[in-house]
């Protein structure tokens, strides 16, 4: 089970890195645990790699469930992803205050 954190903590854990320069096609179909509670098979065309960090770590975005997951690549001949942390990839909007709307009166000519 992957640890689910808030967006600020996720950014602290995945700070730095670079755009993905690895040949990730060899990892297609490798499963990882997601913050949504299920396990996904990684698809390079549907789930983009947002960032690559040192020591074979990737940040994977899954637009179908809305979570981003920080994974570490393990193995030599048979690869697997070890999920480190995950968070919901959206900013929660602050609740709007209840304000009364005032209608403007039309001026008479």
**pLDDT tens digits along 42-58:** 999 999 999 999 999 99
What pLDDT does 1 receive?
83
Q: What is the pLDDT of residue 80?
A: 94
Q: 50: helix, coil or strand?
A: strand
pLDDT band at 76 (very low <50, low <70, confident <90, very high): confident
Residue 80 neighbours by CB distance under 10 Å: 13
pTM of the model: 0.79
- Nearest CA to 85 out of 55, 57, 46, 56 is that of 57
The H-assigned helical ranges of the chain are: 7-13
For CA atoms 42, 48, 53, 54, give the dihedral sign: positive
């Amino acid at each position: 089970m992957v640890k689910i954190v808030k967006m600020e903590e996720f950014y602290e854990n995945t700070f730095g890195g670079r755009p993905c320069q690895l040949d990730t096609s060899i990892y297609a179909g490798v499963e990882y645990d997601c913050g949504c509670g299920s396990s996904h098979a990684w698809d390079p065309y549907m789930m983009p790699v947002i960032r690559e960090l040192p020591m074979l770590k990737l940040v994977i975005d899954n637009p179908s469930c809305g979570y981003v997951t920080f994974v570490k690549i393990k193995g030599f001949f048979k690869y697997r992803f070890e999920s480190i942390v995950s968070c919901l990839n959206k900013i929660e909007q602050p609740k709007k205050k209840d304000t009364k709307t005032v209608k403007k009166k039309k001026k008479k000519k």
